[in-house]
Amino acid sequence: MKYHIQTWGCQMNEHDGEKLSGLLSAEGFESVETAEEADLVLLNTCSIREKAVHKVYSELGRLRQEKERRPLLVGVTGCLAQQEQAALFKRAPHIDFVLGTMALKQLPRLVAEAREGKARVMDTGEYPDNHLFPPSVTQRQDTAKALVTITEGCNHACTYCIVPTTRGAERHRPCEDVLAEVRGLVARGYREVELLGQNVNSYAGGCTFADLLERVSEVDGLEWIRFTTSHPMNFTKELARVLVTNPKVVPFLHLPLQSGSDQVLKRMLREYTVAEYLERLGYLGEGRSRMTLSTDLIVGFPGETDDDFEATLRVLDEVAFDGSFSFIYSPRPGTPSLRLKDDLPMAEKSVRLARLQQRQLTLTRASNERFVGRTIPVRVETHGPTSHGWWLAHSGEWKTIHLAVEPGRVPPFGELVQARITLASPHFLGAELV
């Protein structure tokens, strides 16, 4: 059996793809690069916005044609699988099995049943130990940093968000488990880990998230720790202190704001006001000047007025985020925001999004320009130059680095090298290997 996994969505989903891949490899299956070469295609889906869902259905359409030509097993997993469950079989009858996000370890059983000819095989159960996935099984992509689950699920209830439905309530991995995995990763040569959760800073696996960062940082040989993603209400002074003082925790914080208007935040049930968000950023003190900050913003949430939107632009400027991810509000099935009146024309929402993204571009360019002339450590992420002649790397601040390397020199994959920043574009920094 040859299998191909196509993954959409966040790092959590990407990491689920690595776990699923490990399960199939343990069965003796072989991973292949394309769906065309595969006997089994697994679509590891995202449903955060309608666009993500469209991509899945269009790939399912393509696979239907493929399946008419030759034997092929098609499985759907990830957030759309958890959300739609059996309804997926109605919409796309050529799907052989559906695997929910909280039942990953059931994959081999589902594949076996589908191979025996059983139709419409499904498991979308909530297995309480899903987050205790054996690290030895996970088959990691060839990346310079290793993804490590610390919590799954989310206990917040933002009115626009499908994630509490698709990922369930919070489950925390015991601290010792996390530490054991990180030690194993370092022994295998990884120097950087990214701790994952829908809301990492509500971590409660035997210690606080701030404590977990400190304990992970004590692992010898580990150089950098990142984490994603955080909720402002769980951002504590203690966490800010660790961020600012622990040399292994990278100087980068992604803290989703969503809107700069208190009225909108209230309807989103974000549990904070703009002032409270800013107060929490203030916990970083003067250490903040050495860090980069990014955020998520939703434009055109039901009832968002011109004034609300202008307030968002003002906060964007005030914080001067180094980067932001912004999206037009996308109504999701079963979410509470569906009940809110949403009468703003899509054309107006698009104009707002374009304005916000233009504003961010200016801020990001300024943020990048501040790096020009500095020499900073960056981690090499490619085994050779890309087709453009650069090597790819990232800095601790999560700046994308296009690294120029003299012929004959080979910066080691996954290691830190010194880079002199020579050029700033809005999307990357040009640098020379020192």
Residues binding ligand SF4 (CB under 6 A): 9-10, 12-13, 46-48, 78-79, 162-163, 166-167
CA distance 8 to 164: 18
Q: CB count, 10 Å around CB of 117? A: 7
Closest approach of Cβ 329 to ligand 5AD, in Å? 5
Nearer to ligand SF4, 48 or 416 (CB): 48
Closest approach of Cβ 403 to ligand SF4, in Å? 30
* Residue in the shown chain whose Cβ atom is closest to ligand SF4: 9
Choose from ligand SF4, ligand 5AD, none: what does 430 bind? Cβ within 5-8 Å by kind.
none
Q: How many residues bind to ligand 5AD according to rule CB under 6 A? A: 12
Terminal CA-to-CA distance of the chain, rounded, Å? 46
Nearer to ligand SF4, 85 or 246 (CB): 85
Closest approach of Cβ 331 to ligand 5AD, in Å? 7
Member of 330, 360, 367, 368 binding ligand 5AD (CB under 6 A): 330
Note whether 256 binds ligand 5AD by CB under 6 A.
yes
Please report the DSSP string for 395-406 in residue order. Answer: ETT--EEEEE--
Nearer to ligand 5AD, 278 or 423 (CB): 278
Tokens of 179: 């530490």
Note whether 232 binds ligand 5AD by CB under 6 A.
no
CA distance 251 to 397: 5
Q: Regarding beta strands 97-99 and 73-78, do their DSSP bridges make them parallel or antiparallel, or are they unpaired?
A: parallel
Kindly write out the interface string for residues 292-311 of this chain, putting x where it contacts ligand 5AD by CB under 6 A and - elsewhere. Answer: ----x-x-------------
CA distance 402 to 409: 15
Sort 47 into a burial class: Cβ within 10 Å, 0-12 / 13-18 / 19+: buried
Contact (CB, 8 A) for 33 and 4: yes
Choose from ligand SF4, ligand 5AD, none: what does 60 bind? Cβ within 5-8 Å by kind.
none
Closest approach of Cβ 296 to ligand SF4, in Å? 10
Note whether 156 binds ligand 5AD by CB under 6 A.
no
Member of 57, 127, 283, 327 binding ligand 5AD (CB under 6 A): 327
Q: Which of 328, 416, 410, 340 is nearest to 378 (CA)?
A: 416
Sign of CA dihedral 139, 143, 147, 153: negative
Q: Which of 104, 86, 89 is nearest to 17 (CA)?
A: 104
Member of 106, 258, 312, 324 binding ligand 5AD (CB under 6 A): 258
* Residue in the shown chain whose Cβ atom is closest to ligand 5AD: 296
CA distance 42 to 24: 11
Q: Which of 3, 56, 63 is nearest to 30 (CA)?
A: 3
Nearer to ligand 5AD, 2 or 156 (CB): 156
3-state secondary structure (DSSP) of residue 255: coil
Q: Which of 426, 20, 395 is nearest to 226 (CA)?
A: 395
Kindly write out the interface string for residues 59-98 of this chain, putting x where it contacts ligand 5AD by CB under 6 A and - elsewhere. Answer: ----------------------------------------
Choose from ligand 5AD, ligand SF4, none: what does 12 bind? Cβ within 5-8 Å by kind.
ligand SF4
- The full length of the chain comes to 434
Sort 377 into a burial class: Cβ within 10 Å, 0-12 / 13-18 / 19+: middle
Closest approach of Cβ 359 to ligand 5AD, in Å? 17
Name the residues that contact ligand 5AD, by CB under 6 A.
48-49, 160-161, 256, 258, 296, 298, 327, 329-330, 332
